[in-house]
């Protein structure tokens, strides 16, 4: 019992952040017939991606500004200027506002759709994982 207790005390707290968005799969968006028109679904998805990027980069820059002010204050108080190694600088560049972004209603079956999201999120240092629904839903399963 003592060993388990000491092991539990050695664990460091770990936290992560998650954001989730429903992007309404074009395949199911019958109001605008997006399934049949790449121009229509692409325009809406670009708007969604622009909004997501703005949210992520604006909040990330606010986070960095606050961090910068804290760092400056510590530097002045200590009387020395902190210098970061190249590795720490790269780590800052790669840090994201959210560790995980969940996108609901992702159109897995459309290669162009998947590429659009890969091209947007990979430069922001996110990996893209997705999976299809586990069962087929018929028209009678949908409620209006």
| Residue-level length of the chain | 144
CB within 8 A of 96, min separation 6: which ones? 56, 60, 124, 125, 126
pLDDT at 64: 58
> Is the separation of the CB atoms in 24 and 106 below 8 Å?
no
Q: How far apart are CA 66 and CA 9, in angstroms?
A: 31
Q: Residue 38's closest CA among 136, 138, 121, 107?
A: 107
Range with the largest mean pLDDT of 11-25, 38-52, 130-144: 38-52
Q: Percent helix, strand, coil in the chain (nearest 5)?
A: 55, 5, 40
Per-residue confidence at 19, pLDDT binned at 50, 70, 90?
A: confident
Average pLDDT over residues 10-18: 81
Token pair, residue 108, equals 């897995």
Per-residue confidence at 30, pLDDT binned at 50, 70, 90?
A: confident
What does pTM read for this prediction? 0.62
Angle between helices 38-78 and 111-121 (to 10 degrees): 10
The domain locations on the chain are: 14-27+39-134
Residue 67 has pLDDT above 60, yes or no: no
For the stretch 71-117, pLDDT in tens is 444 444 454 344 444 444 444 444 567 888 999 999 998 999 999 99
Q: How far apart are CA 54 and CA 51, in angstroms?
A: 5
Query: Is pLDDT larger for residue 89 or for residue 60?
Result: 60
């Amino acid at each position: 019992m003592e060993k388990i207790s000491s092991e539990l005390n050695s664990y460091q707290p770990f936290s992560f952040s998650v954001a989730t968005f429903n992007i309404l799969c074009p395949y199911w968006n019958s109001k605008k017939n997006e399934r049949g028109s790449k121009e229509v679904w692409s325009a809406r998805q670009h708007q969604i991606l622009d909004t997501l990027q703005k949210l992520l980069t604006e909040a990330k820059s606010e986070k960095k500004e606050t961090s910068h002010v804290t760092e400056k204050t510590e530097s002045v108080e200590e009387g020395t200027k902190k210098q970061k190694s190249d590795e720490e600088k790269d780590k800052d560049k790669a840090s994201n506002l959210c560790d995980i972004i969940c996108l609901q209603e992702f159109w897995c079956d459309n290669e162009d759709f998947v590429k659009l999201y890969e091209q947007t999120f990979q430069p922001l240092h996110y990996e893209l994982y997705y999976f299809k629904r586990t069962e087929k839903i018929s028209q009678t399963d949908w409620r209006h």
